[in-house]
Amino acid sequence: MRSVGNDDDRAAAEAVQAELFARIGEQAPRPRLEPTRRAAELLGDPQRSFAVIHITGTNGKTSTARLIESLLRAYGLRTGLLTSPHLRRINERIVIDGEPITDRALADNWADIAPYLHMVDVELTASGDQPLTYFEALTLLGFASFADAPVDVAVIEVGMGGEWDSTNVADGDVAVFTPIGLDHVERLGSTIAEIARTKAGIIKPAARVVTALQVTEAMDELQRAAELDEADIVSEGVGFALLDARLAVGGQLIDVRGRAGEYRELFLPLYGEHQAQNAAVAIAAVESFLGDGTQPLAGEVIAEGLATATSPGRLQLIATEPSVLVDAAHNPHGAQALARALLGSFAFPSITAVLGVLDDKDAVGIIEALDPVVDQFIVTQSSSDRALPAAELAETVISVAGPQRVRVEPDLESALAEAREAAGTDGAVIVTGSVTLIGQVLLIVDGQDAES
């Protein structure tokens, strides 16, 4: 990542991050919209100053959002991108024209909105409610930053769910759904239908809706919500489709039937069929935004938009000899996609997994998905307060994979070194299980590169 400011700017941005971290964490969201809406009104409703593509789902949200943003930028539009969580620094969450927001812009925009957020905090406290949360404040900071830039269109990723997520104070011109599965069941519902019903809350009256292929229970909820809001809905497999995906150096070549045209021999610098499907959804979303799904996208522009797309932390190669990849899979659905990608996109003679999982995740489901493609597990933990202790997680891994294939190393840097040694020069290391784990590994590798 390029430098985003001088030392004074960096200190100012880190002060903003500290203020945000002092609020209620994003893993404990409040099922409410009124506080964010109240603060947005005091700020002059910055989210109404640009067009919005709103995206939710269980897996693939960030990659699809990045693909959509890259395509729009290739068309010459000034773009904003709001995603979560970050891997290294909070600047990654607020992207303007393809670059993380600068430290100076982050600090200045925070200084502009902080008095208004304080006003809302005071009102909430006086009424016996909790002050604005980390994610509510961050969402407002993102909206204000995009309005200040200014951007033509913002691609906004939901933090959790949809209906009561703070990003939902924005009215999406296009609502995009990646595959919906079971995750955050303690907050979103215990069935796919319940989760889909909550996520369908981002559909606004007369919006255009684009959805990846969904299981029947999820699709029924999306169609019902679209009908109630008189929104046009187009789904993968009917309105558009991934026709083919073939391995290529540095990624894959894909053929896509979009809503308005067919696009052949497109280079996608991302690995795995799930990323090819994300690209198909992204193309359909951009067709829906730019031409209401009736005008084909320009071939050379769509080629540029896909070829320059990135998705850090998603099956990302960060080192060689041996190959070290990181992937933010943190639920069984994501782990299954990772396993398929490791088999379909690479030919490693052996794979060693460095695994760390947070305590609210389905560790058994993640391990069972990875077990058929991983030769040995190095079980570790991130520094997150929510990380499962390595010894406890190891017991779960052993119950699935057997004791002969499992080692325990609580120190992440030592676990990574042990995995690289075990893999040898020809094997591969995959680090996965949680976003916090991936972020720490990237910082470790960054530090090693700086020292070399």
| SS3 state of residue 73 | helix
Among the candidates 277, 307, 337, a domain finishes at 307
Same domain membership, residue 322 and residue 293: no
Furthest-apart CA pair in the chain: how many Å? 62
Q: CA–CA separation, 212 vs 221, rounded Å?
A: 14
Helix (H, G, I), strand (E, B) or coil at 207: coil
Residue 292 has pLDDT above 90, yes or no: no
CB 350 within 8 A of CB 423: yes
> Identity (one letter) of the amino acid at 168?
N
Confirm whether 350 is domain-assigned.
yes
Same domain, 419 and 272: no
Residues 378 and 396 in one domain: yes
Residue 373's pLDDT band, with cuts at 50, 70 and 90, is very high
**C-beta separation of 351 from 320 below 8 A:** no
Is residue 362 a part of any domain in this protein? yes
Are both 349 and 294 inside the same structural domain?
no
Q: Quick one: average pLDDT of 171-180?
A: 96
DSSP-assigned letters across all residues of 326-369: EE---SHHHHHHHHHHHHHH---S-EEEEE--BTTS-HHHHHHH
- 96 plus 133 within the same structural domain: yes
- What's the Rg (C-alpha) of the chain? 21
Sheet of 232-235, strands arranged across: 99-100, 94-96, 79-82, 153-157, 51-56, 174-177, 208-211, 232-235
Kindly tell me if the per-residue pLDDT of 194 is higher than 80.
yes
Amino acid 181: pLDDT: 83
Of 247, 279, 307, the position where a domain reaches its end is 307
Q: Is residue 223 part of a domain?
A: yes
The stretches of 43-101 forming alpha helices (DSSP H) are: 61-74
**Structural domain harbouring 38:** 7-307
Q: Average pLDDT for residues 161-188, to the nearest whole number? A: 86
Last residue of a domain, one of 307, 328, 346: 307
Using an 8 Å Cβ cutoff, are 162 and 199 in contact?
A: yes
pLDDT at 5 over 60: no
Count of structural domains within the chain:
2
In this predicted structure, the answer to whether residue 54 has a pLDDT above a threshold of 60 is yes
Q: What is the CATH number of the domain that holds 415?
A: 3.90.190.20
Structure-token match 């497109």, residue found: 266
pLDDT reported for residue 138:
97
How far is 409 from 404, CA to CA, in rounded Å? Answer: 15
Q: In the structure encoding, which two tokens stand for residue 295, read together?
A: 């005008």
135: CATH? 3.40.1190.10
Instruction: Specify whether 299 is located in the same domain as 324.
Output: no
Based on the fold, state whether residues 89 and 198 are members of the same structural domain.
yes
Question: What integer best gives the mean pLDDT of the chain?
Answer: 93
323 with 300, same domain: the answer is: no
Is residue 2 in some structural domain?
Answer: no
pLDDT confidence band for 258 (50 / 70 / 90): very high
Angle between helices 103-126 and 34-42 (to 10 degrees): 120
pLDDT at position 155 over 70: yes
What is the pLDDT confidence band of residue 3, given thresholds at 50, 70 and 90? very low
Q: In this structure, are 270 and 323 located in the same domain?
A: no
Same domain, 289 and 349: no
Cβ atoms within 10 A of the Cβ of 132, count?
25
Q: Assess whether 347 and 248 both reside in one domain.
A: no
Pick from 161, 448, 144: nearest CA to 319? 448
pLDDT confidence of residue 379: 97
In a shared domain, residues 332 and 264 = no
pLDDT in tens, 58-67: 889 999 999 9
How many angstroms separate the CA atoms of 253 and 183, rounded?
31
Query: Is residue 127, in this structure, part of any structural domain at all?
Result: yes
Average pLDDT over residues 398-413: 96
For the residues 336-349, what does the mean pLDDT come to? 92
Are the beta carbons of 255 and 273 closer than 8 angstroms? no
Tell me whether residue 249 is in a domain: yes
Beta-strand ranges (E) seen in 135-288 are 153-157, 174-177, 208-211, 232-235, 241-248, 251-257, 262-268
Comparing 434 with 184, the larger pLDDT belongs to 434
Contact between 354 and 438 under an 8 Å Cβ cutoff? The reply is no
Give the pLDDT score at 16: 96
Q: What is the pLDDT of residue 25?
A: 74
pTM score: 0.92
- When pLDDT is cut at 50, 70 and 90, the band that residue 1 belongs to is very low
Confidence of residue 326 (pLDDT cuts 50, 70, 90): very high
Say if residue 4's pLDDT is above 50: no
Does 1 map to a domain? no
355-366, pLDDT tens digit by residue?
A: 999 998 899 999
Share of the chain above pLDDT 70, in %: 96
DSSP letter assigned to residue 167: G
Phi/psi at 387 (5° precision): -70, 135
Q: How confident is the model at residue 28 (pLDDT cuts 50, 70, 90)?
A: low
pLDDT confidence of residue 27 = 62
